[in-house]
Amino acid sequence: MDAPIGQGGLFLLQFVTGLILFMLMLRFLLRATHADWRHPIVAFTAKVTNPLCAPVNKLLPLKGRWDWSAMITAFIIQSLFVLSIGYLTGKDFGVAFIALAAITEIVNQLLDMLFWLIIIQVILSWVAPSYNPNTAIFDQLTRPVLAPFQRVIPMVSGLDLSPIAAILAIKLFQIVVVGSIAGFAQNMIG
């Protein structure tokens, strides 16, 4: 796997898998926040991910705000990716390791997405503080995450400090909880 061609193939596999997971997590968040499906970003996400989620939707039809087909599809794709890495590196990963590795990567991807959505929302609130239908999607995606922090943290001189607390909570959760699970999974392969 040290050959440049092998490294290039691994990079391409990681990139494609990461892009697919990103779109599936975005689909999950858009559905969870009741995003307007007429918005171009939402429509694009649905169009790209519908073929991937269709088989799972047949078994588990969409109901409510949680798009479990996106999560299950992401889990299957990430599990296949971990299995592929094992094959390419000559390692035999057990089912428990594959499942934990897939789950931690999906949770990390979701938390990273929330982190960046909050950063983008903060920047947009400075640049375009009034309502803009093109950027409203970012407010819609971050509102459920920021709302609990906004109830606890008061505004200071007109500044909303809740994004700082939300970002700290996201990163601490990634480091402590997800990192512990990933470490446990790593110990499974020695």
Tell me the per-residue pLDDT of 106-123, one tens digit each, with 9 for 90 and over.
999 999 999 999 999 999
Query: How far apart, in whole angstroms, are the C-alpha atoms of residue 98 and residue 73?
Result: 15
Tokens of 84: 């592929």
The one-letter code for the residue type at 63 is K
Strand partners, 156: 159
Its domain, for residue 153, covers 4-188
pLDDT in tens, 70-100: 999 999 999 999 998 888 778 888 898 999 9
- pLDDT average, residue stretch 24-37: 90
Please tell me the pTM assigned to this model: 0.85
pLDDT band at residue 4, thresholds of 50, 70 and 90? Answer: low
Query: How far apart, in whole angstroms, are the C-alpha atoms of residue 106 and residue 128?
Result: 32
**Residue 4 vs residue 90, higher pLDDT:** 90
pLDDT given at position 45: 93
- pLDDT average, residue stretch 129-146: 83
Between 4-13, 73-82, 150-159, the lowest mean confidence (pLDDT) is in 4-13
Asked if residues 188 and 96 have their Cβ atoms less than 8 Å apart, the reply is yes
pLDDT given at position 150: 92
pLDDT band at residue 5, thresholds of 50, 70 and 90? Answer: low
Tokens of 158: 């007109």
pLDDT given at position 35: 85
Cβ burial, residue 118 (10 Å; 0-12/13-18/19+): buried
Q: How many domains does the chain have?
A: 1
